[in-house]
């Protein structure tokens, strides 16, 4: 059975599409034919069936980049690989941004924002779809049984928090040499979105 969060999301999308299309026809023709509403509702239900919606999301996930540590806060012209931290932080006696609730920063066009909204839907267990995908839970596998290849779908959807290219930084991001054993590593310093949005 579908989680209520997914059911409500898809129902809202269907209703919005039907309303938009009906208003469009009324504006164009000035009148609605008897079968207009039926054909529009049928088309919207097909477009926003879970399977078709998931395929749309998978196909267009590349259009969204979600990060928890945006380099743009360090320098607006910096271009780096997106960083998405989803781990647990152990209390080591220091004040750390990891203790705060993580805040996502999204880089996308308006056309793809519904995909982000979908991935952030919270199930009855208190965890969102993105978190379930990251952890590859049985819950998400059961919700997405309508697709033929769940593993491929998962890889495509997780593109919102990953980058196909090698991890890269920018000379415009603050950097520091950090000592390790008998050498140094050059680290790029990026701050958590929690700090920059406060």
Indicate the Cα dihedral angle 39, 10, 56, 137, nearest 10°: -150
Give the pLDDT of residue 137: 95
Helix axes 34-47, 50-60, angle to 10 degrees: 60
* Cβ atoms 122, 128 nearer than 8 A: yes
Query: How far apart (Å, rounded) are the C-alpha atoms in residues 63 and 115?
Result: 10
Give the pLDDT of residue 29: 77
Query: How far apart (Å, rounded) are the C-alpha atoms in residues 5 and 8?
Result: 5
3-state SS track over the chain: CCCHHHHHHHHHHHHHHHHHHHHHHHHHHCCCCHHHHHHHHHHHHHHCCHHHHHHHHHHHHHHEEEECCCHHHCCCCCCCCCCCCCCCCCCCCCCCHHHCCCCCEEEECHHHHHHHHHHCCECCCCCEHHHHHHHCCHHHHHHCCCCCCHHHHHHHHHHHHCCCCCCCCCCCCCEEEEEECCEEEEEECCCCHHHHCC
Give the pLDDT of residue 105: 60
Q: Where are the domains of the chain?
A: 63-136+153-196
Q: With a threshold of 0.85, does the pTM exceed it?
A: no
Give the pLDDT of residue 198: 43
pLDDT by 10-residue block (mean), the chain, 198 residues: 93 93 82 80 93 94 75 61 62 58 64 89 93 94 94 91 61 73 74 53
């Amino acid at each position: 059975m579908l989680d209520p969060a997914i059911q409500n999301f898809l129902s809202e999308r269907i209703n919005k599409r039907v309303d938009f299309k009906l208003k469009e026809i009324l504006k164009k023709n000035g009148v609605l034919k008897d079968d207009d509403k039926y054909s529009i509702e049928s088309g919207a239900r097909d477009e926003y069936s879970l399977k078709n919606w998931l395929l749309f999301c998978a196909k267009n996930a590349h259009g969204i980049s979600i990060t928890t540590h945006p380099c743009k806060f360090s320098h607006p012209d910096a271009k780096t690989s997106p960083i998405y931290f989803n781990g647990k932080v152990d209390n080591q006696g220091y004040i750390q941004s990891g203790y705060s609730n993580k805040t996502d920063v999204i880089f996308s066009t308006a056309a793809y924002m519904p995909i982000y909204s979908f991935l952030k839907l919270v199930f009855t267990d208190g965890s969102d779809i993105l978190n379930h995908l990251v952890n590859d839970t049985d819950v998400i596998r059961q919700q997405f049984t309508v697709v033929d290849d769940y593993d491929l779908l998962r890889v495509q959807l997780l593109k919102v928090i990953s980058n196909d290219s090698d991890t890269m930084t920018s000379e415009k991001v603050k950097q520091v040499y950090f000592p390790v054993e008998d050498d140094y590593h050059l680290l790029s310093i990026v701050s958590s979105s929690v700090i920059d949005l406060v």
